[in-house]
Amino acid sequence: MDIQLIANFSYILSAGLFIYGLKLLGSPATARRGNMFSAIGMLIAVVAGLTATGIVDFKLIILGMVVGALIGATAARMVAMTGMPELVALFNGSGGAASLLVGWGTLYSASGEPVSTFTAFTVILAILIGGMTFTGSLVAYGKLSEKISSAALVFAGQRFFNGLLLLALLASGVMLCLDPSPNSIWFWAVLGLSLLIGIMAVIPIGGADMPVVISLLNSYSGIAACAAGFAINNNILIVAGSLVGASGIILTNIMCKAMNRSLANVLFSGFGSVKQGKAIEGEVKPISVEDAYYILEAASNVCFVPGYGMAVAQAQHVVKELGEILQKNGAEVSYAIHPVAGRMPGHMNVLLAEADVPYEQLVEMDEINPRIENVDVAIVIGANDVVNPSAREDSNSPIYGMPIINVDQAQTVFVLKRSMASGFSGVDNPLFFNENTRMLFGDAKESISGVVSEFGS
């Protein structure tokens, strides 16, 4: 009894440390310390968890922890910063799967007696949310790593089919509540349907909407932990799970706002599978590396606008190099980052931080737009939809209403691009045909390196 009391007090302590850790994440200067506090909180919770009554055999626990720690540490060390979205997707998936298994394991009690109806209900929630998170994250991982097509997959009757799945799940869930045995056919139905629903939920979502999906799955992995906490009557799982759930929901909300779309629209519309909006005609004006150098040499205010293309080309280091040269040349340099640039929230910030860009130079969309007219050269690197003026001007455009970085209002715009292909949303970009736009075709990394060496010569 006493040790249980100590364990419960330890849980309060670790909850406090999680909360304090998240609070320190409010500024880049204190964030690292915050993560440390959070980790200490986790350590305390894990030790306290090991003292729970009913644990009679530690061999399997140790085995699981050693295997998990090895895999986790290897993944964390090996991953390249550009591969971060994929890693986070996989972590979301393993969190979901763990909650699913905890729920499943709860159905087998040591005494062999069936669990109560309420517990059965929470177990079903843990299996449903955990299972959805697991398979949904695997599909998201596949799309992010381009192992499967990142385009939205929609088919006729998709909603009807998904509706049927949900009804079937509801029916199986009710049956399982009435007879909560892990051997019943209803259990397998709930498990199978949950996994299937996760797949069905993510396939209709296109690559450009991945920041929303990852945030949402992040939230689900927390909610699944919460449900598992209810199933086994554990406070710390509920507190920590709901913190994560809230975090994911806020990020999801920020991402949706940044695209001016509702969550329902992102989840169900199959955006990106259709091409519409008016076609744009005009002439693009290419520019050579040499001419780009002459313009940049004379510029006193330069703003980089990175997008997913910068991650693909691994161009962050040369971009930073160019930024430093321009700064030495007397120019004011900033990096404007759209909330949905890249494949996950904050993706570009991490890449630029990796290249040692001080975080003071990273500015948000709302900060740069009012003073974009003072920018002599805006350099768009592998971004497309987030700088597409159609979002502002063409009410027929599918991305109409989405807030963008108004680079077209800068004095000159350089667009670094491989070819004239349209962005992930499949929408044409009138920016490329503007009077003040110059296209620098080719690999972003090579183009920038070219400009850098022009400065050197």
Closest distance to other proteins from the beta carbon of 3 (Å): 14
Residues 13-32 that bind other proteins (CB under 8 A): 15, 18-19, 21-23, 25-29, 31-32
Instruction: Decide if residue 6 touches other proteins (CB under 8 A).
Output: no
Other Cβ atoms closer than 10 A to 83: 14
Of 171 and 312, which CB lies nearer to other proteins in the complex structure? 312
Rounded to whole angstroms, how far apart are CA atoms 85 and 82? 8
Contact residue for other proteins among 3, 164, 185, 250 (CB under 8 A):
250
Residues 147-206 that bind other proteins (CB under 8 A): 182
Rounded to whole angstroms, how far apart are CA atoms 398 and 401? 9
Closest distance to other proteins from the beta carbon of 22 (Å): 5
Instruction: Decide if residue 9 touches other proteins (CB under 8 A).
Output: no
Instruction: Decide if residue 12 touches other proteins (CB under 8 A).
Output: no
Rounded to whole angstroms, how far apart are CA atoms 101 and 189? 15
Instruction: Decide if residue 315 touches other proteins (CB under 8 A).
Output: no
Closest distance to other proteins from the beta carbon of 273 (Å): 26
Instruction: Decide if residue 46 touches other proteins (CB under 8 A).
Output: yes
> Applying CB under 8 A, which part among 96-104, 153-161, 184-192, 422-430 lies near other proteins?
96-104
> Applying CB under 8 A, which part among 82-90, 167-175, 430-438, 445-453 lies near other proteins?
82-90
385 among known catalytic residues: yes
Contact residue for other proteins among 4, 8, 9, 72 (CB under 8 A):
72
Closest distance to other proteins from the beta carbon of 376 (Å): 22
Closest distance to other proteins from the beta carbon of 114 (Å): 13
Query: Tokens at residue 76, please?
Result: 């964390």
Instruction: Decide if residue 228 touches other proteins (CB under 8 A).
Output: yes
Residues 262-291 that bind other proteins (CB under 8 A): none
Check 209, 385, 394, 428 and give the catalytic one: 385
Residues 351-410 that bind other proteins (CB under 8 A): 353-354, 356, 358-362, 364
Of 78 and 264, which CB lies nearer to other proteins in the complex structure? 78
Instruction: Decide if residue 229 touches other proteins (CB under 8 A).
Output: yes
| Catalytic residue numbers, as ranges | 385
